[in-house]
Amino acid sequence: MHEVHIRPQWTIRQPDGAALAPRVIELLVQVLEHGSLSSACTASGVSYRHAWELIRQGEAMFGQPLVAMRRGKGSSLTPLGEKLVWADRRITARLSPLLDSLASELGAEIEKLIPTAPTLLRIHASHGFAIEALHGFLAAAQVPGDLRYCGSEEAVASLHHGSCDVAGFHVPLGVFEAEAVAHYGPWLNADTQKVIGMATRHQGLMVAPGNPKKIYTLADLARPGVRFINRQAGSGTRYLFDLQLREQGIAPEAIKGYEQCEFTHAAVAAFVASGMADAGYGVETPARQFKLDFISNQVERYFLLCEERSLAAPIVRRMLDILQSEAYQDAVNRLPGYQAVNCGRVLSLPEAFESLRPAPAGKRRTAARSK
């Protein structure tokens, strides 16, 4: 399969048309990562002289410094330099999953016009880092696929309507499980469908390092002066967050920023890390990547839903082989907050979810007498 790659690139342009060179942003990112311009040059593959010329051009454009040199202590970014880096990280966090999904879709459309193209494994899934890892493993194994990120609800609806072969969705463990399963109920069919285990993962609050606002519970989000960044309506994480607010009697309108949304976990983490919000809600992996503190308050299971008849398809069997492999499970276990539990195990819906199991005969008779 021919792979399409799309990467975000941005710049700042002055009224006279002069633009900030993209390499300047790359250098600033590396300075922040490595703490010195010389190390940034090595990581970026540019000479020290050329790097200084690029930095000088950027500083001339803004009329103020971007990098501060400290004798014997390396280099650091000025507030403006840091803001440019965080802008880059926010753009990448927000757009990369969407662009990956678009690239996969475009690749699939191109393959349809090639007579010898192989059958594609169509995956519609809620974005997560285990599914992102699976996409990489499938590509490395040359399993042709079409991965599209969407909300959990949209994913299972897509499978119901025949628009994909596999749907990725997540369900919280504990008191919210039955209600969440019922939420997906219109698109679930215990007679014809199976679920494939992938992983458990932690959801919780992402807050600034050191937690300066002392945000430990969802109730703290309603305190004056606390700014929040939410996930979009229709996402499984937003649904889980709303369930918890309802259970705890917290009015959404009491949370400043409840209506402001990002479309991925990484974008939420980047928003908090840039200082534009004091807290967000999502999975642990991007919180650690952006060096945020994380307060877990919910564990959930991530599943792949498919029609039982699809399990015999060679392309689905290849996916199962990857899920059951030690290499893939090790990769998942290395993700902060993730654990490869029942990874690649095929279950019936009642086996996976207690709320879908028939009531024991004794309970059924008791219920009948009570009527």
Give residue 368's pLDDT.
45
User: Taking the chain, what is the end-to-end CA distance rounded to the nearest angstrom?
Assistant: 60
> What are all long-range contacts of 251-260, with beta carbons under 8 Å and residues at least 24 apart?
251/222, 254/222, 255/221, 255/222, 255/226, 255/228, 256/226, 256/227, 256/228, 257/227, 257/228, 257/229, 257/230, 258/228, 258/230, 259/230, 260/228, 260/229, 260/230
Q: What angle do the packed helices 22-34 and 79-112 form, to 10 degrees?
A: 120
DSSP of 108-129: HHHHHT-TTPPPPEEEEE---H
Q: What angle do CA 284, 355, 177 make, to 5 degrees?
A: 20
Nearest in space to 152 (alpha carbons), one of 179, 170, 133? 170
> Between β-strands 279-283 and 228-231, what pairing exists: parallel, antiparallel or unpaired?
parallel
pLDDT of 370 reads: 47
In whole angstroms, give the CA distance from residue 121 to residue 314: 10
**Tokens standing for 314?**
């060679």
pLDDT reported for residue 362: 59
Selection from 244, 326, 336 nearest residue 289 by Cα: 336
Q: Which residues of 75-96 are buried (b: 16+ CB within 10 A; e: fewer)?
A: bebbebbbebbbebbbbbbbbb
Provide the residue-wise pLDDT of the chain in tens; the chain has 371 residues. 567 778 888 888 888 888 888 889 989 989 988 888 888 888 888 899 999 999 999 999 999 999 998 776 678 899 999 889 888 888 888 888 778 878 777 877 777 777 666 788 999 999 899 999 999 999 999 998 899 999 899 999 999 999 999 999 999 999 999 999 999 999 999 999 999 999 999 999 999 999 999 999 999 999 999 999 999 998 999 999 999 999 999 999 999 999 999 988 999 999 999 899 999 999 999 999 999 999 999 999 999 999 999 999 999 999 999 999 999 999 999 999 999 999 999 999 999 999 999 877 655 554 445 44
Q: How many CB atoms lie within 10 A of CB 110?
A: 14
Decide: helix, strand or coil at residue 185. Answer: helix
Q: What is the pLDDT of residue 1?
A: 57
